[in-house]
Structure 1
């Protein structure tokens, strides 16, 4: 049986993720972590979740804490804590403030839960995944980010709607940055096992509009209701399930790559990876030339920002 910790459990995404994770069979305990001063809220969330589990007939322990040492023994730790993105704010503008938060958490996690898997949700997620990897000192297979997993699901849904097919018939993915430089892999997109470019309707597919919709989906939701909750929450739960159930599914997450994608690497970014109980393992893939060029550009963008954030963070810490 497994213990899952949510860091940032007082936020909307953390709360809903905890509820979604409770439906995963191997999970026996959920630990809600929040900062000091949030004890009453944490207690209330735990009580509310326990009531929902009772109604569902789910036998899961729910505990809460403001002491990060209590994450010891966690099989998966989900980091959702950090400053939320405002409607007019780019994900990368969040980088330094959230990097300080993630680095602090990661150091303690690495010390007290060396066998855990860290799932980073805090934005900008690709940069924050690198921060968590560096400061936790865990293996690259143990640290990964939500990345373009949700973006890929959004694209999948839009394609299914356009072709009037069940969403399960569509297989597609987006790689690269979880942000403006994301890269849709049309070369790897199929409907009912048929490569999408072999379907006559593909010639009329409004590709530009669909990709812009994927890119702007999160910001549009934030503008309309204040925050994204259900999409990220379910996406988080699906990744936790894949790890704990040892499913060996190939999903697109932010992971540290070396040379798996045309020799492009040395950064955490969205790529297809095999995920199981041992962690996350990027797979080698070959892309069409335009996709390689776009991915290289996305990697360079994230590499520059990651380097800048890590250097600035280290400089701050050395001064402190």
Structure 2
């Protein structure tokens, strides 16, 4: 019997995640959305691509949660983007209520699942999913660092004119303007980029990485979806195949890095059952201060939610 992955939200991120997972052929997929016929149509379209692309997993669309029962992984992509005139608190309230609602419906049907949160503001929404589901913190993880690191790797590879496959990159902290790319731990074929690029060029790449999502919005008029979906698929694959991948994810810290009781992006060992270990790396005083500033911004969001 194949593993089952439920993807809540059949928008561009959710449906593209379903596409990437179907192409991996490692799980049956349930695509859920409140819009009638939308998940059913997208699921059927994906199913009909199977004979051409060579996958034979089941892909089902649904407007309720009965089909999601006994999922191994639940991916939450549903939520509202920030619209003109909408304050931060407005966005927090809307997406907090959405994540709470979908978690209330999905978690009891799949009590052993790992929840992967994608909805923004990401780190704050992880807290909502954790508290609503009642799952152990190891089974609620946020997708952020994989995407941020992919953007960092892309820009480094473009600057050096090399394949991004030969670039590794580290990004810590909250998913947003306060993220903390770490050039010291970022390499090209094992060579630190600090040996290959000037501080000015590295600083420019770091700033472009922090603005990676905003740059896409300015170009497309909508949020990114290819790279976020690819990042989710990589995490889901690590969980389902118990790969013990070391990936940067939003994880609930309990004293690591001097941060307690908060979801923050850090490297973790990801495999069956979710987060197996938070990896602590040595930071300079400046890097640690930047990480704590980023954590502080996340904490402000969490505290703001409690007032809503």
Equivalent residues of 2:126, 2:263 under 8 A apart: yes
In the alignment, does 2:231 pair up with 1:230? no
- 1:206: which partner in 2? 201
In the alignment, does 2:179 pair up with 1:178? no
Between the aligned partners of 2:13 and 2:89, the Cα distance in structure 1 is: 19
Q: How many Å apart are 1:74 and its aligned residue? A: 0.5
Question: Deviations 1:17-46 (Å, cap 9, x if unpaired)?
Answer: 11011122421x1101111xx232222112
Between the aligned partners of 1:118 and 1:178, the Cα distance in structure 2 is: 17
- 1:32: which partner in 2? 31
- Match runs of 1:113-192 below 5 Å: 113-192=110-189
- 2:263: which partner in 1? 268
Say if 1:54 and 1:248 are closer, same or farther in 2 by CA, change over 3 A.
same
Q: How many Å apart are 1:99 and its aligned residue? A: 0.4
Q: How many Å apart are 1:204 and its aligned residue? A: 5.0
Equivalent residues of 2:240, 2:271 under 8 A apart: yes
Indicate the SS of the match to 1:138. coil
Indicate the SS of the match to 1:18. helix
Give the counterpart of 1:244 among 240, 243, 246.
Answer: 240
- 1:3: which partner in 2? 4
- 1:297: which partner in 2? 293
Q: How many Å apart are 1:94 and its aligned residue? A: 2.1
Say if 1:86 and 1:217 are closer, same or farther in 2 by CA, change over 3 A.
farther
Question: Deviations 1:47-90 (Å, cap 9, x if unpaired)?
Answer: 21111112112111111212124321111111110102348978
Between the aligned partners of 1:87 and 1:176, the Cα distance in structure 2 is: 27
Q: How many Å apart are 1:148 and its aligned residue? A: 2.2
Equivalent residues of 2:73, 2:114 under 8 A apart: yes
Say if 1:60 and 1:25 are closer, same or farther in 2 by CA, change over 3 A.
closer
Q: How many Å apart are 1:166 and its aligned residue? A: 2.1
Which consecutive aligned stretches of 4+ in structure 1 deviate over 6 angstroms post-superposition? 87-92
Question: Deviations 1:139-198 (Å, cap 9, x if unpaired)?
Answer: 11110111222111111111122122221222211111110111111221222222333x
Say if 1:110 and 1:42 are closer, same or farther in 2 by CA, change over 3 A.
closer
In the alignment, does 2:58 pair up with 1:61? yes
Query: 103-112 vs 143-152, which deviates more?
Result: 103-112
Equivalent residues of 1:7, 1:80 under 8 A apart: yes
Indicate the SS of the match to 1:238. helix
**Any gaps of 5 or more consecutive residues in structure 1?**
314-320
